[in-house]
């Protein structure tokens, strides 16, 4: 009964994967230029027939564009804006747009439904169990990209928080050497790498494009969504408003961020014993108990067996 459903969803999933493969390929711009050039050459030769183009350019590419256009209308505007901010915080917005992420979620859901249907065919559960397995697999697969995105956000925030004190030290040294804040930021971008440096580079590009430093720094705090970096940005903006020297602000912020990093490391170290309780109890303790008490249990059982046998 489930075979037609599985085959239908499998066909849709394969077609969706083909659309994604065409839509998200890195060399699509080069292929587009070559396609335009080939169209121009064929038109000049007087033999511009549609069937001369590859199948992916005639069918798959227009279908992928239509799917992305349809994805732009999926979901409320607030939901898409929230997803866009999450992609921006994770640092993948330049690679994956909001519409593309929605299409990815849709395709993973189809893949989960297909896998659930295959599992139902192999395990032969009841009809209710099969439907539950198919729908549950689809729901889990639908939220799998969200879990990946949350992991990317946490990882990026951790890297930014950990590298912030060192970056502030480099900024402090450059500013105290006589460089301006923008020049020190440019020097930092040219000498370092990492997620925080990428955000600094984006901020510097905005400043060079004509955006005020205040708006660019506020955008930096909003994009990263790291409390420590937001505190640093607010301190810089406050110093700019009050006319306070930026040297003292950078030095004090550097000391404060280094202290926070040390406190965070101590907090993580204090949580380690609590997190080790369950692995020790569930994995190490049973094996240790088996090694220690196993021979004694065997010896006692043999003794009781001998006594009972002798008594019989």
DSSP code per residue over 9-62: HHHHHHHHHHHHHHHT-TTHHHHHHHHHHHHHHHHHHT---GGGS-HIIIIIHH
Same domain, 118 and 199: no
Same domain, 20 and 149: yes
pLDDT digits (tens, 9 = 90+) for 239-267: 888 878 888 888 888 888 888 888 888 88
Q: Given 245, 263, 281, which residue is the final one in a domain? A: 263
| Residue 226 three-state SS | coil
Residue 270 lies in a domain: no
Residue 248's CB is within 10 A of a number of other CB atoms, namely: 11
Residue 299 lies in a domain: no
Query: Model pTM?
Result: 0.67
Q: Given 111, 136, 158, which residue is the final one in a domain? A: 158
The range of the structural domain enclosing residue 228 comes to: 161-263
Same domain, 187 and 72: no
Same domain, 35 and 63: yes
Q: How far is 312 from 303, CA to CA, in rounded Å? A: 14
What does each of the 312 residues of the chain score in pLDDT, given as a tens digit? 445 554 555 555 555 555 555 554 544 554 455 455 444 444 444 444 455 566 556 665 566 666 666 656 666 667 778 888 888 888 887 788 877 788 888 888 888 888 888 887 777 667 777 788 888 888 898 899 999 999 999 999 999 988 998 888 888 888 888 888 888 889 999 888 889 999 999 999 998 898 988 899 999 999 888 998 998 899 888 888 887 888 888 888 888 888 888 888 888 888 888 888 888 888 888 888 888 888 888 888 888 777 777 655
Q: Given 158, 177, 205, which residue is the final one in a domain? A: 158
Residue 273 lies in a domain: no
| Cβ pair 199, 160 in contact under 8 A | yes
Count structural domains, the chain.
2
Residue 182 lies in a domain: yes
pLDDT digits (tens, 9 = 90+) for 111-159: 888 888 888 777 766 777 778 888 888 889 889 999 999 999 999 999 9
Structure tokens of 213?
């430093």
What pLDDT, on the 0 to 100 scale, is given for residue 34?
46
Same domain, 144 and 214: no
- Using alpha carbons, list the distances in angstroms from residue 296 to 25, 174, 286, 291, 299: 65, 70, 15, 9, 5
Residue 35 lies in a domain: yes
Q: What angle do CA 155, 139, 96 make, to 5 degrees?
A: 45
Same domain, 7 and 137: yes
Same domain, 120 and 8: yes
Residue 108 lies in a domain: yes
């Amino acid at each position: 009964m489930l075979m037609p459903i599985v085959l239908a969803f499998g066909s849709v999933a394969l077609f969706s994967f083909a659309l994604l493969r065409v839509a998200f390929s890195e060399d699509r711009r080069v292929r587009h230029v070559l396609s335009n050039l080939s169209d121009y050459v064929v038109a000049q030769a007087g033999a511009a027939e549609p069937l001369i183009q590859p199948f992916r350019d005639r069918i798959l590419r227009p279908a992928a564009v239509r799917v992305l256009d349809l994805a732009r209308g999926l979901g409320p505007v607030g939901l898409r804006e929230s997803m866009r901010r999450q992609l921006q915080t994770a640092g993948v917005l330049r690679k994956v747009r909001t519409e593309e992420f929605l299409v990815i979620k849709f395709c993973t859901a189809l893949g989960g439904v297909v896998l659930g249907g295959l599992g139902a065919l192999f395990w032969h559960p009841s009809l209710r169990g099969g439907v539950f397995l198919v729908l549950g697999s689809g729901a889990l697969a639908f939220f799998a990209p969200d879990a990946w995105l949350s992991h990317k956000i946490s990882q990026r925030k951790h890297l930014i928080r950990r590298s912030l004190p060192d970056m502030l030290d480099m900024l402090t040294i450059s500013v105290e050497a006589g460089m301006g804040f923008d020049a020190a930021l440019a020097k930092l971008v040219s000498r370092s790498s990492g997620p925080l440096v990428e955000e600094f580079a984006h901020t510097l590009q905005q400043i060079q494009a004509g955006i005020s430093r205040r708006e660019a720094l506020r955008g930096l705090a909003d994009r990263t969504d790291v409390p420590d970096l937001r505190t640093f940005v607010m301190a810089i903006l406050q110093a700019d408003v009050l006319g306070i020297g930026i040297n003292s602000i950078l030095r004090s912020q550097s000391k404060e961020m280094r202290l926070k990093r040390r406190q965070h490391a101590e907090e993580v170290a204090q949580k380690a014993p609590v997190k080790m309780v369950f692995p020790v109890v569930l994995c190490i303790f049973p094996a240790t108990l088996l090694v220690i008490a196993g021979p004694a249990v065997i010896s006692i059982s043999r003794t009781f067996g001998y006594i009972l046998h002798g008594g019989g």
